[in-house]
Amino acid sequence: MKAPAPVLVVALILLSGVALVALNVQPVPVPVGCGSVIETNTTLNSNVGPCSHGFVIGAGNISLNCAGRTIIGENEFAGAGISLSGGTGVTVKNCHVTEFWFGFSLTASSKDTLANDTANGNRAGFEVTCDNCTLTGNTAYNNTADGFDLDGSNHTTFTSNAANKNGMDGFSLYGHSSIDTLKGNAASSNGGDGFDLYESVNNTFTGNRVYNNTADGFFLNGTSDGNILNRNIAKSNGYDGFLLNSVSIGNILIGDTATGNSIGFYLNASSYNILTRNTADKNGAEDFYLRGASDNALNNNTAESSDGDGFLLASSSDSNSLTTNVASNNGVAPGFSVSDSSDNVFTGNTASSDDGGGFNFGGSSDHNVLTGNTANHDVYGFAFDNSSSNSLVGNIANNNTINGFYIWGSSASNTLAQNTANGNAQYGYFDASKGTDTKGTADHYTGNECNGNGIGGSVPSGLGSPNPDPVMKK
């Protein structure tokens, strides 16, 4: 039996109404406030706080976009502003967090992203224990402790982040953080180091800028091994531009610059490191300083215009190799200085216009080999004091203020062969040792050249050829 037409009309109207109501149902907004657990994509539309607890990210593969809003804590003991533990694929962006213990805390996480976030006025800015994570364009400033802490993070990338005016370090890597990449970051005016590594290995630092930090620009400590530092700049830091300390082994520094620091590059008790094409200038003490550091290779580096040594090897820095480095216009100390260090090899290096001399060996620096080095316009070209059994072959000492080659003290059994000493203000060769070798010295000379020196060729006569007898000025 067919339904009457009016009944059908009413039924259709009722069904249409139900459908319209269903189409217009909206999800009830979930309020986001202090202590909220965020489990879906969320965008803030207002500031939040003051809070004793901030946000907790409670799900993976979601995003939190603060849209420039601020999450405010009650004080720096108030937990974390935004925390994530064990999450994967989470993005947190455009957030500003202040007055918490940690601004941002990522623990036991992976493949997460923090972008364009800011942490200031916290105990620490960013705490990151995260693998394969990405932090880009973030800023940490005026935090009481560190700006960025990486604790046991691996394969994590930091790009274009900034750490300024934090109470301790700008960026700190510890807990065996490894294979991380830090590129184009800046650390300035922090109370500790710009970048601090402790027991962290195989990380890469490229194009980072470190200025005006109270301590070191880059500090590698406690067996921080196998790191690569490339084209970084450390300027006007209170201590060292780059410090490799406490058995940090196998690091490579290439194309880095240290200027206006106390020491430019400092290797302390660290071995098997390679420094290539680095520049140190206008540092307050040494440009390159090796102390108790052995088996390192320094190639094609430049040290200029410092107040101390261009290159200093001291305190049993043995078996190092220095090749085609340049030291020029350094202050009261030599271009290359070796003290109590032996078995080093110097090849093709140049020292010029250094007020303390070109190459200076003292304090029982023995068994060193110098081949094809040049010292011009220094005080002394090559000087040896109480140093024995060294080999000098094919070196050039021209136009120095006093002598080209100068040996004194208890130095003995040194060999000088095929060297050149021309145009020095006093003598080409001056050997004050006494013995039974060449011309009554304790050293052996063969095939050396000297021409046009101010007072004479050598003392004693005959250490070089041609060799006019010295005419002593009265």
Amino acid at 201: V
Decide if 214 contacts 187 (C-beta within 8 A). Answer: no
- For the record, the structure tokens of 132 come out as 């394969």
Tell me: the pLDDT tens digits for 334-343? 999 999 999 9
- For the record, the structure tokens of 348 come out as 């093709």
Tell me: the pLDDT tens digits for 106-130? 999 999 999 999 999 999 999 999 9
Query: What's 88's DSSP letter?
Result: B
Tell me: the pLDDT tens digits for 353-411? 999 999 999 999 999 999 999 999 999 999 999 999 999 999 999 999 999 999 999 99
Mean pLDDT to the nearest integer, 406-430: 98
Q: Where are the domains of the chain?
A: 43-144, 285-474
- For the record, the structure tokens of 316 come out as 């049993």
Compute how many other C-beta atoms are within 10 angstroms of the C-beta atom of residue 77.
11
**Which helix or strand (DSSP H or E) is residue 73 part of?**
strand 70-73
> What is the model's pLDDT at position 78?
75
Decide if 285 contacts 310 (C-beta within 8 A). Answer: no
User: 3-class DSSP state for residue 8?
Assistant: helix
Q: Backbone phi, then psi, for 12, in 5-degree steps?
A: -65, -40
> Using CA atoms, how far apart are residues 418 and 464, in angstroms rounded to an integer?
9
Half-sphere exposure of 97 (CA within 13 A, CB side): 40
Tell me: the pLDDT tens digits for 59-107? 999 999 999 999 999 987 779 999 999 989 999 999 999 999 999 999 9
pLDDT at 20 > cutoff 50? no
Decide if 225 contacts 238 (C-beta within 8 A). Answer: no
Q: Backbone phi, then psi, for 92, in 5-degree steps?
A: -120, 120
Mean pLDDT to the nearest integer, 7-23: 40
* CA 402 to chain centroid: 38
**Which helix or strand (DSSP H or E) is residue 198 part of?**
strand 195-198
> What is the model's pLDDT at position 467?
46
> Using CA atoms, how far apart are residues 73 and 18, in angstroms rounded to an integer?
46
- How many H helices and E strands in the chain? 1, 55
Tell me: the pLDDT tens digits for 301-323? 999 999 999 999 999 999 999 99
- For the record, the structure tokens of 365 come out as 């620096």
Tell me: the pLDDT tens digits for 139-163? 999 999 999 999 999 999 999 999 9
> What is the model's pLDDT at position 216?
98
> Using CA atoms, how far apart are residues 139 and 115, in angstroms rounded to an integer?
10
User: 3-class DSSP state for residue 31?
Assistant: coil
Q: How far is CA 226 from CA 38, 96, 250, in A?
A: 40, 35, 5
pLDDT category, 18, cuts 50, 70, 90? Answer: very low
**Which helix or strand (DSSP H or E) is residue 15 part of?**
helix 5-23
Mean pLDDT to the nearest integer, 209-227: 97
User: 3-class DSSP state for residue 122?
Assistant: coil
227 closest CA partner among 275, 187, 185:
275
122 closest CA partner among 104, 149, 95, 108:
104
Let me know the angle formed at the C-alpha of 305 by 302 and 310, rounded to the nearest 5 degrees: 50
> Using CA atoms, how far apart are residues 308 and 311, in angstroms rounded to an integer?
9
> What is the model's pLDDT at position 14?
39
> What is the model's pLDDT at position 30?
52
pTM of the model as a whole = 0.91
Q: Dump the DSSP string for 344-367.
A: -EEES-EEES-TT-SEEEESS--S
Decide if 365 contacts 389 (C-beta within 8 A). Answer: no
pLDDT at 3 > cutoff 50? no
Identify the CATH assignment for 285-474 out of 2.60.40.10, 2.160.20.10, 3.40.190.10, 3.90.850.10. 2.160.20.10
pLDDT at 6 > cutoff 60? no
